[in-house]
Each structure stands twice: as structure tokens, then as C-alpha cells.
């Protein structure tokens, strides 16, 4: 019963050195994110980050059907990146993934580094890169913003899945065909990514309607009021 609720990567799928390696990757990345993210923080960031993290936590528990007998859930990397930027977004989502592993037994303890790397770091970074590349379109119209949010959500989900495939290639514990695994994992996440894209677009669209200034991706520099540290 307890084993069937696991949704993130469990312990024992990757070997110990690989788990350790991605633990180190996650710690390094989060240290950089904490340093760089500080510049992005203004009065609105802390409440928005808290609310978004809570929303993502709830949404990650809400599996939606994607294929017969297969479900998916929101990862949230693109949404976090679009609303909070890539650094605060990554920190926010890391807390979500860590709490799931520590309190809900969702995602193994030794696999925490890999889970954080895939969902919170890769998902956020790739989601932000896609959104940033299409920022002109996102600023032009509401339709443009929704399209960019959808695309960022879709690509970030596939990127998180690809991250796992790379980890498995480095230190997977079972003797299975890597090409086959890559096809299945990335294929199913491309379908989940459509759901991710739709939810990301809906959430960004709802916020754009009432508080467009809260969307990191499209707010103008004067709206952001960066705290210039003169030193």
C-alpha cells in the first residue's frame, strides 16, 4: 500500500555514487540560486513564493490521467520560473520536493538530489530559458503569454524526464536498454507535459488578469524596482 503512492524517484534505482553526485549538483546549484535570487526579491516576492510553493505542493499530489492506467502530475518548474524567476523559483520548488521526500515518503532520501535536480532545477531552468527566449511574444498579447507559458511547461517537463535518463545512464542499477528507457520515460513525459503546459498557461493567465505585475517574466524593469546594491 505504502509503496504504491510513490511518485518521484525512489531509493535504489540509481547507485550510491550517482545519488551522491546529484546531491552535490543540487547543493551547488541551490547555493548559487540563493546568492543570485536575492537580487530578484522585492516586497511581493516572499508572499508570492510561499503561496506558489503551497499551490505546487498540492498540485503535485493531484495526479491526472494521461494514458490508460498512467497518470501524471504538475511539476511546476516553468510556472515557478515565469512567476518568480529562475533562482527563487528553483529554491521554492526544492522546498516542495524536499518536504515530499521527508514527510510524505514521496521520493527517496538518497534520490533527493536527483529529484531536486530534475524537477526543481532542470525544470525551472529550462522552463525559464524557453520563456525568456519567447519573452517578446509573451509581452505582446495575452494569447502570446499563454502560448509561451504552455510551451515552457511542456518543454520543462520533458527536460526533467531527460535529466532522469542522463542520471540513469550514469548510474542506473538495472540492466535495461537505455534507448528503450529513454523512449518510454521521455515519451510519457511529453504527454504529461501537455497537461503541465495547460495548467501553467491557466495559472499564468489567471494571475495576468488580476496582477500582471506579479509575473517576473513580463514585468518591466521599473515595475520590478530592483534593489541596486551599491558596493
Partner 1 sequence: MTMSRVSLRRFALVAVVVTAVLAIGVSAFASASPDGLEWALRDGCTSQAGELRGTCPAQHEREHALGEFALDGTGLAAGVGTALVLLLVWGGVALMRGRGARE
Which 75-134 positions form the footprint of partner 1 (CB under 8 A)?
88, 91-92, 95-96, 99-100, 102-106, 108-109
Region of 17-25, 31-39, 125-133, 147-155 interacting with partner 1 (CB under 8 A): 31-39
Shortest gap between Cβ of 141 and partner 1 (angstroms)?
Answer: 10
Shortest gap between Cβ of 44 and partner 1 (angstroms)?
Answer: 6
Interaction mask 189-228, partner 1, x per CB under 8 A: x-xx---------------x-xxxxx------------x-
Assess contact for 60 and 24: CB atoms under 8 A.
no
- Does 181 bind partner 1 (CB under 8 A)? Our answer is yes
Q: Kindly report the CA angle at 77 between 73 and 82, in degrees rounded to 5?
A: 125
The correct pick among 7, 132, 137, 198 for binding partner 1 (CB under 8 A) is 7
The correct pick among 19, 21, 26, 73 for binding partner 1 (CB under 8 A) is 73
Shortest gap between Cβ of 42 and partner 1 (angstroms)?
Answer: 8
Sign of CA dihedral 201, 206, 209, 215: negative
Residue 38, phi then psi, degrees to nearest 5:
-55, -35
How many alpha carbons fall within 13 Å on the CB side of residue 155?
A: 19
Nearer to partner 1, 81 or 214 (CB): 214
State CA 35 to chain mean position distance.
19
Q: Which residues pair with 67 in a beta bridge?
A: 70
Nearer to partner 1, 4 or 221 (CB): 4
State CA 52 to chain mean position distance.
12
- Does 49 bind partner 1 (CB under 8 A)? Our answer is yes
* E-state strands within the chain: 64-67, 70-72
- Does 162 bind partner 1 (CB under 8 A)? Our answer is no
Listed residue (124, 148, 126) closest to 138, CA to CA: 148
Region of 24-32, 37-45, 123-131, 146-154 interacting with partner 1 (CB under 8 A): 37-45
Q: Which residues pair with 72 in a beta bridge?
A: 64
- Judged by CB under 8 A, the number of residues near partner 1 is 81
Amino acid at each position: 500500500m505504502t509503496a504504491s503512492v510513490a511518485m518521484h524517484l525512489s531509493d535504489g534505482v540509481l547507485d550510491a555514487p550517482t545519488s551522491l553526485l546529484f546531491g552535490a549538483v543540487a547543493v551547488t546549484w541551490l547555493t548559487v540560486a540563493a546568492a543570485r535570487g536575492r537580487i530578484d526579491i522585492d516586497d511581493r516576492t516572499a508572499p508570492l513564493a510561499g503561496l506558489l510553493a503551497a499551490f505546487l505542493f498540492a498540485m503535485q499530489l493531484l495526479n491526472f490521467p494521461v494514458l490508460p492506467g498512467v497518470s501524471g502530475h504538475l511539476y511546476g518548474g516553468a510556472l515557478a520560473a515565469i512567476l518568480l524567476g529562475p533562482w527563487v523559483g528553483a529554491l521554492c520548488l526544492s522546498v516542495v520536493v524536499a518536504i515530499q521526500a521527508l514527510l510524505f515518503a514521496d521520493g527517496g532520501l538518497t534520490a533527493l538530489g536527483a529529484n531536486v535536480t530534475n524537477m526543481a532545477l532542470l525544470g525551472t531552468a529550462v522552463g525559464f530559458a524557453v520563456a525568456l527566449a519567447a519573452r517578446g511574444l509573451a509581452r505582446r498579447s495575452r494569447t502570446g503569454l499563454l502560448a509561451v507559458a504552455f510551451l515552457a511547461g511542456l518543454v520543462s517537463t520533458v527536460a526533467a524526464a531527460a535529466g532522469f535518463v542522463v542520471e540513469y545512464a550514469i548510474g542506473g542499477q538495472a540492466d535495461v536498454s537505455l534507448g528503450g528507457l529513454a523512449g518510454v520515460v521521455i515519451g510519457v513525459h511529453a504527454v504529461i507535459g501537455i497537461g503541465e503546459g495547460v495548467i501553467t498557461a491557466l495559472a499564468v493567465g489567471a494571475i495576468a488578469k488580476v496582477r500582471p505585475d506579479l509575473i517576473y517574466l513580463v514585468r518591466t524593469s521599473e515595475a520590478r524596482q530592483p534593489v541596486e546594491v551599491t558596493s
